A and B are shown apart, each in its own frame.
Chain A
Amino acid sequence: MLLESIREELRAIVGEKNCLDKQEALVAYSYDATPMQQALPDVVVLPKSTAEVQQVMRVAARHHIPIVTRGAGSNLCGGTIPVGGGIVLVLGRMNQILEIDEQNLTITVQPGVRTVDIHQAVEALGLFYPPDPGSMVISTIGGNIALNSGGLRGLKYGTTKDYVLGLEAVLPNGEVIRTGGKLMKDVAGYDLTKLLVGSEGTLAIITEAILKLIPKPQTQRVMLAMFADMAQAARSVSDIIANRIIPGTLEFLDQGTIRVVEDFKQIGLPTDVAAILLIGQDGEPQTVDRDMEQIAAICQKNDAVQIKVATTAEEADEVMTARRSALAALSRMRPTTILEDATVPRAAIAPMVAAIQEITDRYGLQICTFGHAGDGNLHPTCMTDARNTEEIERVEHAFEEIFTAAIDLGGTITGEHGVGIVKAPYLEWKVGAAGMEVMKGIKHAFDPHNLLNPDKMFAKQSRNRVVVQRA
């Protein structure tokens, strides 16, 4: 419990209306989009400026109160759950686009701007901000930066980290740092910009960002290719890249996902195929047309049972919407949906999908897989029921095996969702004991009193790696 005098200090900074400790507010900021995670904060604070963030940080530092910074609360790693209570710092009111610089091709934003609003603002000027995480209609850019969000365009355009040029951030001691700038080259010291991207609110509170923009591609086209066999789909992916084509999007849905998406959206996906590739290309019209032709030929060669090129913008939009609703559509099947993001080198997609299937069957679970085939980022998604403790235990074991399989194939435990609470026990599997030490050192250098998003990233105890016995 926070002392009334501390609440008084916080109210003095942000005003009565923006310092909430009524039950309703505590419950409303006790969760994010992560299943089965909830914890009540002591107080919810909604600052309007960097100066207010600094003052709140100083109060927290003086009284050793944890701060969990939050945008839209759409993350899937439990990154904004106030596990140890304290302050939830909601940056939604800092939601101004400060500048779009058409000379330097940058946009400067406050952290509470929604990702989709950035897209709309820059695209109106013929510019492009590529990162497009699945939650972009609600997610804020601050959250995207904190979690280094990916999205459908990762293969060709990279992820959030590739577009953050500079940051303003409040340190745990209340000081403000500015990193990077409107600069394509800057080697002055350690790259703190890149370090803060993906730091999950554990090192500093990001209060402003300069993002890189690129010219908006002239045209976009999408197609679907359907396969009777997963291996054929995977081979098509490898062949496309081997042919020196980097598609704007290269997504895949397995049969289970296809069925659910079709049920949800009714866009005429065949429900009897083993895998669908959704392939998009953008750029100059001529190049796009040529690439699409070649891609179609490659899929044909790999025995695609059907290839459908979207002919109108509406058709293309429908196809993309269907992919974007995959997670959501899956969630209709059972009350609880657990979405993972094990990631492997793209050449290892077929064995990874096979491993997921085998593990799913062995544990008697319902796991459908979709994801970004182009960059090896898969979303094995488990439909379950949090109320069934026996089943949840099986789910946990199955996912542990899936993480192990990913690492064994040269992959990682999380490609784009982040570590947060849910992956913290497994982080050491990926980075090793020495890696953990370095990370803890970095955390200590920024935040010696462990005030910012404590209990995230570093688990009290790492899980023992499961020994996989395959028949």
Chain B
Amino acid sequence: MLKEALVNKLDYDELSNCMRCGFCQPACPTFRETGYEAASPRGRIALMKAVADGVMEPDKDFVDQMNLCLGCRACEPVCPAGVPYGQLIEQTREAIEEVQEHPWWVKAVRKLAFFHLFPHQKRMYQLGGLLRFYQRSGVQKAIRKLGVLSILPKQMREMEAIMPEASGKGIVDFFGGTIIPAVGERKYRVGMFHGCIMDVLFNETNRNTVQLLSEAGCEVIIAPDQVCCGALHAHSGEREQARNLARKNVAAFHKADVDIIVSNAGGCGAMLQEYDHLLAEDAEWQEKAQWFASRVKDISEVLALRVEPKAWQSLPQRITYQSSCHLRNGMKVTKEPVNLLQAIPGATYVQLREGDRCCGSAGIYNLVQPEMAGSLLDEKMGHVAATQADILVTSNPGCLLQMKAGIHRAGLEGKMEAVHIVDLLARVSSKQ
């Protein structure tokens, strides 16, 4: 059954385009960790092709191996043949999801999260409000004191420990409207993609994003009716639901008639930028999806064009940067964040060794593959500690949480803080 699903979903031409040179392997975190050919992009593509060619049955090992992939796509920029590995792994996961029978509780959680929660922004805010109540009312303190949390797996406990304060309101509520005018002359009309989790757990980052854009001469439209980008869905094999979400977002921003669509989360941005591929076979939406995808930019790209670092306040601290995999490998944005950080007056920028390697967060990977994620994170924190930085900057909420967890785990709390690049820039550019 899985075999048929794979044969149907997999792009055989792209499988054939892999020439097995192996150049992807040094870039692959799971290969480096294991040294095992099957745990590399070349290996996984060979397994997919072997299934498509009828050389092997897609057994449990096959499924496990596909799930072990972080989806960080570090293999793509180094692939000479330009094989879109990210698409192949998503096609594989979609096929697996289609036939896989989860235990009842996994089914329930997936259904709740992917269909009843992430796609409905109002429910996200309601959940955010509950979480906020938990955090502020003293319940969290009481629960921590009681030691009830010790029944949770380690990685869940770590996440609970570093969970930022949630918000029950989104940025539209905060700004009291969906249009925020540009400060000074209007250069661009920018659509702000606020994300689902971002707007609840990192509401302040979203507010700062709008503020920075406005100060940089952008009229900001927080397109109403926008929804979750669908990245978590696509990575988990729910591509059809991702397509539903994509159509809603395309419609929302098309209606807003913006020049640029800005994302402040690499994971979301890369997904948004691929809406044209996602909807390629949808005749009705194809053209609009291209319109949409060609307008998506990361916040750092827009700011790099528009800001005047000379006016920034001095920040005499050591800064290092862990890039978001999907910002780097998906959106191909590498220079802008670093240029911005290097431009901060008084700050010392230290390059993070292997800052281009996945931190192990990878969407919900750290929850479903705790062992591999943990070992990647420990390695990462070794390099982070070596920078002796005061501030560890990232550009995606998942990475930020993982870095916070890493700092907690490595006992660096109080010595180092993990900050979203937008929040750091807001700090140095604030007018007070």
Tell whether A and B belong to one assembly: yes
Which residues of A are in contact with B by a Cβ distance under 8 Å? 22-35, 38, 40, 72-74, 90, 92-93, 95, 114, 116, 135, 137-138, 264, 325, 327-329, 331-332, 335-337, 385-387
B36 touches A28 (CB 8 A): yes
Chain A nearest Cβ from B89, distance in angstroms: 16
Q: Which residues of A contact B36 (CB under 8 A)?
A: 28
Residue of B nearest to A333 (CB): B81
A329 touches B80 (CB 8 A): yes
Q: Which residues of B contact A135 (CB under 8 A)?
A: 21-23
A33 touches B19 (CB 8 A): yes
Chain A contact residues, majority secondary structure: loop
Residue of B nearest to A116 (CB): B26
B47 touches A138 (CB 8 A): no
Known A-B contacts A137-B26, A328-B80, A387-B16; A27 and B47 likewise in contact (beta carbons under 8 Å): yes
A28 touches B37 (CB 8 A): yes
Q: Which of A24, A25, A90, A138 is in CB contact (< 8 Å) with B23?
A: A138
A137 touches B81 (CB 8 A): no
Starting from the known contacts A40-B55, A335-B13, 18 additional A-B residue pairs (CB-CB under 8 Å) come to: A22-B59, A25-B37, A27-B46, A28-B36, A28-B37, A30-B46, A30-B50, A31-B46, A93-B35, A135-B21, A138-B22, A264-B80, A328-B21, A329-B80, A331-B19, A331-B21, A332-B81, A335-B17
Residue of A nearest to B19 (CB): A331
Chain B nearest Cβ from A153, distance in angstroms: 20
Q: Which residues of A contact B205 (CB under 8 A)?
A: none
Q: Which residues of A contact B21 (CB under 8 A)?
A: 33, 74, 135, 327-328, 331
Residue in A24, A33, A34, A95 whose Cβ sees the most chain B Cβ within 10 Å: A24
- Report the separation of the CA atoms of residues A469 and B36 in the bound assembly, to the nearest whole angstrom: 49
- Report the separation of the CA atoms of residues A126 and B92 in the bound assembly, to the nearest whole angstrom: 47
- Report the separation of the CA atoms of residues A324 and B56 in the bound assembly, to the nearest whole angstrom: 34
B35 touches A23 (CB 8 A): no
A328 touches B81 (CB 8 A): yes
A337 touches B47 (CB 8 A): no
B19 touches A336 (CB 8 A): yes
Residue of B nearest to A74 (CB): B22
Whether, in the assembled complex, B316 has its beta carbon less than 8 Å from a beta carbon of chain A, the answer is no
Q: Which residues of A contact B25 (CB under 8 A)?
A: 72, 138
Chain B nearest Cβ from A459, distance in angstroms: 23
A32 touches B20 (CB 8 A): yes
- Report the separation of the CA atoms of residues A31 and B55 in the bound assembly, to the nearest whole angstrom: 13
- Report the separation of the CA atoms of residues A88 and B61 in the bound assembly, to the nearest whole angstrom: 19
B16 touches A386 (CB 8 A): yes
A22 touches B61 (CB 8 A): yes
A27 touches B50 (CB 8 A): yes
- Report the separation of the CA atoms of residues A73 and B46 in the bound assembly, to the nearest whole angstrom: 13
Residue of A nearest to B51 (CB): A27
Q: Which residues of A contact B35 (CB under 8 A)?
A: 92-93, 95
Residue of B nearest to A32 (CB): B20
- Report the separation of the CA atoms of residues A30 and B53 in the bound assembly, to the nearest whole angstrom: 14
Per CB-CB distance, the 7 closest pairs between chain A and chain B, nearest first, are A328-B80, A28-B38, A28-B37, A24-B61, A335-B16, A331-B81, A27-B50
